[in-house]
Amino acid sequence: MLGTGHWARAVHATALAEHPSAELVGVWGRDLARAKAFGAEFDVPGHADVDALLAEVDAVAIALPPDVQAPLAVRAAEAGKHLLLEKPIALDVAGADRVVDAVRAAGVASVVFFTFRFQTATSTWLTQAARTQLAGGSGSWLSSLAGTPFAASPWRQEHGALWDIGPHALSLLVPALGPVVAVQATAGLRDTVHLALTHGSGAASTVTLSHTVAPMSTGIEFYVHGDAGRLVLLPEVDEPVAAFQVAVDELTAAAVAGGVHPCDAGFGRDVVAVLAAAARALGSGCREPVGE
């Protein structure tokens, strides 16, 4: 386990400690005292030396800010360790590319924890979506971080909802409608953003994201539409531990079978490319191509 923050404790470490087959071996943090205190909660040692911890494990779960995660993911992959990553995997395409290159060069398995993708309702929704000819879709995630453990997260404060929950929206709309090739974006109040996505399939979708709405305005809804009507998904946000345990199982399966997971580092890199294009579009006011 790399990371000692709230999400690392409440989700990653808790899920690993309760997992029937995975074993939590140790934790690393940038603050050794904090890492030791964190480890004591789960009856594992806290480490100051990343390489020493890597030498003891088969896989690494990372719950760190994206700019800290990316170089450590490269380091772990180069050490031959399978990776369970958080989203976004990096804050720019170059950083994401380095993670993907390291994973592929080492031949290790990787899974990015897009929480909704490891829930049964989402799997059912995507299966239904694949059975119809889709014309487009939409997603809205309005939240309020005030008063939550995430409110003091420096990287979330700096990069806002686009980079924090935007990856979750893309993890649903991209597999349903196809890769995004261009983005238009408009800023709303505070960190609210509105995106118009052009998919390579010819479909289009829209996304609204915010971490700063009034508490009574919060909610999540996604849908796609086509010749069979509208398919609505209301993602479950209250069971991340169960979803993380599914992600652990799927990482294990990918590591054993040698296959590529649908939410691997490569998919995580494609998500970063869309987010980067959206950030450019917010600055330019123009339609921005993805990957340029």
pLDDT at 140: 98
Place of tokens 């889709």: 134
Determine if the pTM surpasses 0.85: yes
Place of tokens 């990371």: 3
Q: Quick check: 100 and 266 in contact, CB under 8 A? A: yes
The answer on pLDDT for 38 being more than 70 is: yes
Nearest to 63 by CA among 37, 82, 92, 86: 86
Q: What is the DSSP letter of 8?
A: I
Residue 92 to residue 95: CA distance in whole angstroms: 6
pLDDT at 238: 87
Residue 283, CA distances (Å) to 88, 148, 161, 270, 279 in order: 20, 29, 16, 20, 7
> For residue 104, how far is the Cα from the chain centroid?
19
Across the range 143-155, mean pLDDT stands at 94
Residue 167 to residue 161: CA distance in whole angstroms: 9
pLDDT at 175: 98
Q: Quick check: 119 and 239 in contact, CB under 8 A? A: yes
H/E stretch holding 187 reads strand 180-187
Tokens in use for 94? Answer: 């170059």
Q: Quick check: 196 and 204 in contact, CB under 8 A? A: yes
Across the range 109-125, mean pLDDT stands at 98
Percent pLDDT > 90 in the chain is 97
pLDDT at 68: 97
33: buried, middle or exposed (CB in 10 Å: 19+, 13-18, 0-12)?
A: exposed
> pLDDT tens across 58-85, in order?
999 999 999 999 999 999 999 999 999 9
pLDDT at 256: 96
> pLDDT tens across 150-171, in order?
998 999 999 999 999 999 999 9
Tokens in use for 51? Answer: 């390489």
Query: Is residue 118 very low, low, confident or very high in pLDDT (cuts 50, 70, 90)?
Result: very high
Place of tokens 């060069």: 105
Q: What is the DSSP letter of 200?
A: T
pLDDT at 128: 96
Mean pLDDT of the chain: 97
> pLDDT tens across 87-105, in order?
999 999 999 999 999 999 9
Q: Quick check: 88 and 70 in contact, CB under 8 A? A: no
Query: Is residue 292 very low, low, confident or very high in pLDDT (cuts 50, 70, 90)?
Result: low
The answer on pLDDT for 291 being more than 90 is: no
H/E stretch holding 278 reads helix 265-284
Residue 264 to residue 251: CA distance in whole angstroms: 9
H/E stretch holding 38 reads helix 32-41
Angle at 226 between CA 224 and CA 229, to 5 degrees: 85
Residue 74 to residue 58: CA distance in whole angstroms: 15
> pLDDT tens across 14-36, in order?
999 999 999 999 999 999 999 99
Tokens in use for 203? Answer: 């479909």
Across the range 259-275, mean pLDDT stands at 97
Instruction: Give the largest Cα separation in the chain, rounded.
Output: 58
Tokens in use for 129? Answer: 């979506």
> pLDDT tens across 196-253, in order?
999 999 999 999 999 999 999 999 999 999 998 999 999 988 899 999 999 999 999 9
pLDDT at 259: 86
60: phi then psi, degrees, rounded to nearest 5? -130, 130
Q: Quick check: 201 and 178 in contact, CB under 8 A? A: yes
